[in-house]
Structure 1
């Protein structure tokens, strides 16, 4: 049953979870899938070279759409929501008078193990390992004030971008270009061909390819995505402490006189700043060159602005009558986001590798995007069906069991 709060503002279910939080998480699942699926569809994606079998104009256009609108934006949204949900877990533990620390540490341990299994068996670009590691830092800073959390997030992001710019400058000075040499390009092509062939094999061939790729992907996810994800954790922590997703005037430290008009004005301001800055950075990154380190630096700096604009746009949409229905539909996959995240990898393995249909390297990128949309549509329907019968997703059940060291109730009582 859904409980409406002030009709036009944020909606709460009887479980106390914010529908808007779940809806944003459900929307993020689509973005994550759009970014991840090219790594299943071609062995050339990880080495960072164009697939020789996909050189048509529509292949470049499809990849450009993913880079422009999705790449580097949606893991930040997931990370923001991780930090926001962390504050809800803290409040829940305090309300029940239980010790939060051991439960959260068990939760991080379980996330780490799930991430290791996902990276080795399904998708070498898994982010859960990074979340588990940087979740320890988030816990260490859980008493920080919202203002200080935002300052630290800004310092981390700024420092990271400056270091990346310094690297780009050094490469430009000493190598003259960040583009690969002819020999390096030939090796990248050979690596892509070998990876494609391995993915066309059976389960053991796919697993061997995943494990071998971890030496490249794990440092990238931990040391490149990790600091930026942690910055988003801290922004989510600050937002959670101020309950900014709970609707106008809902936060404990917000101005009691701040009504829907002021809240709406803040969302519009985020859009007016976020879209121009974020889209400009995306344009430079997409149309310059993805192996241009300067373009990458600008992209790291501007991607959070576009992510924030996406969030503001959705929150404004959710507060309309039709948008409320959209929020309800997106919230269902969002409530079981971990199950859906892992099932995306599983479905892609079954579709593209020799474990299943073996379509790797055989589908144009526009078709790959179509497959991603089809997978997401199935998840929307499947999540709705599942949650009419069960309280949570199956992987959420495992995570909760590990966190609380108990067997949670799974089926809904009639």
Structure 2
């Protein structure tokens, strides 16, 4: 989903043509493939079950274990990898600007490419009905990214950490407020148990605490949401579509858009910095990647693990993830990047990760096909399988594995015969204005 996959814009000047096969960096393809497959594990609960009941009752012990694994290792990190790679891809695409040539033409290609990505994102929302689309967000973030291509990596990293710093400051304030509330509630509960009259402040704290607890359990709002969703599913395809459109409008345009774009933009800046330092493409030492992996997993998993018992208990207690959520997401993401890099330095690792290369080269197609398969086939109201609403985290993970397995096999088979993924081919045609070669003219290895 970053740089083009293979040559095919024949008559374009060399500086403006898509990346040729020999120019591809296999590690980037594998990282992208891993990220695009992992994203389904986060998306499928919202596709396969009532939104009001994703974190509800009826979980088995296996469901709790799967949720813990997904929260620790996957949550947000698949976006993190894609955002880092998007930043790297921006530098790959615009590197031609640094050399003599036509900077205006390169900028034209860059912005046309991302404006078409925005259109594809809207199609994902309004045609495929996926209200959790990231293409629209990434396209908006990319429109601001072009001007930063010449900035030194140290400054890129500093600017990229602004969002993490802001969320830590904002979350830190909420953490301190929650901690003070928790202390007051603990005292009030002890006083009430001992028959001591409560002060006005203690009564107010107990009321506020109960409101927070109610937010962790399905209440009247969740029941109304469930009824809306069930009504939409029973009322035909137009009602089904409108329900998903409204979800996207409420979630994205009514307050969340700026935050989503800022997260993506800042992480893309970090991706640009890592590319300039040679980190993303695997040019640093083994000791460096070992240190990044240990530090990233050590910090990120500790923060997430510390919060997990409170999250599973559905209690609104003060947790450090309130202020360290974004730093932990970035840390675990970097841990994944380092682990993949180290794995690719071993024969076993290269063999295990080899199928991901095709997924990375067809990531754009895979992402949209995930939405098509889940929302229009497996979990659609008209599906004879009636899988929607029947499972929890273990079942969702198994179905995500099955869908990803089919798509991974399809990508590997497709790229043996064709030079580029089907939607990548269309995107490239729209970007460069010339129809790319689709059939493969040489062996794929």
Fold similarity call, TM over 0.5: yes
Counterpart in the other structure of 1:38: 45
Counterpart in the other structure of 1:374: 402
Counterpart in the other structure of 1:5: none
What are the Cα deviations for residues 103-152 of structure 1, in whole angstroms up to 9, with x where unaligned?
11111111111111112233101011111111112112222111100011
Counterpart in the other structure of 1:325: 351
Counterpart in the other structure of 2:113: 107
Tell me if the contact between 1:26 and 1:331 (Cα under 8 Å) persists in the aligned partners: yes
SS in 2 for 1:353: coil
55 and 182 in structure 1: CA distance in 2 versus 1, 3 angstrom threshold = closer
Tell me if the contact between 2:280 and 2:337 (Cα under 8 Å) persists in the aligned partners: no
TM-score (norm 2): 0.80
Please say if 1:246 is aligned against 2:252: no
Of residues 285, 294, 299, the one that matches 1:272 is: 294
Tell me if the contact between 2:48 and 2:389 (Cα under 8 Å) persists in the aligned partners: yes
Counterpart in the other structure of 2:380: 353
Q: Distance in 1 between matches of 2:33 and 2:380?
A: 26
Q: Distance in 2 between matches of 1:412 and 1:321?
A: 27
235 and 328 in structure 1: CA distance in 2 versus 1, 3 angstrom threshold = same
Please say if 1:119 is aligned against 2:125: yes
Please say if 1:26 is aligned against 2:33: yes
Say which one has the larger Rg: 2
Of residues 417, 424, 429, the one that matches 1:401 is: 429
Counterpart in the other structure of 2:219: 185
Counterpart in the other structure of 2:72: 68
413 and 369 in structure 1: CA distance in 2 versus 1, 3 angstrom threshold = same
Counterpart in the other structure of 1:208: 242
Of residues 349, 353, 367, the one that matches 1:341 is: 367
Q: Distance in 2 between matches of 1:116 and 1:179?
A: 36
SS in 1 for 2:75: coil
Show structure 1 runs of 5+ residues with no match. 1-11, 250-262
187 and 363 in structure 1: CA distance in 2 versus 1, 3 angstrom threshold = same
Of residues 76, 88, 95, the one that matches 1:91 is: 95
169 and 130 in structure 1: CA distance in 2 versus 1, 3 angstrom threshold = farther
Tell me if the contact between 1:19 and 1:327 (Cα under 8 Å) persists in the aligned partners: no
Alpha carbon RMSD of aligned pairs, Å? 2.7
Alpha-carbon shift at residue 334 of structure 1 (Å):
0.5
Alpha-carbon shift at residue 95 of structure 1 (Å):
5.9
66 and 83 in structure 1: CA distance in 2 versus 1, 3 angstrom threshold = same
Q: Distance in 1 between matches of 2:218 and 2:421?
A: 44
Q: How does 1:293-332 map to 2 (within 5 A)?
A: 294=319, 295-332=321-358
Alpha-carbon shift at residue 291 of structure 1 (Å):
7.9
Q: How many residues align?
A: 387
Show structure 2 runs of 5+ residues with no match. 1-18, 182-204
Q: Distance in 2 between matches of 1:209 and 1:38?
A: 17
Counterpart in the other structure of 1:50: 55
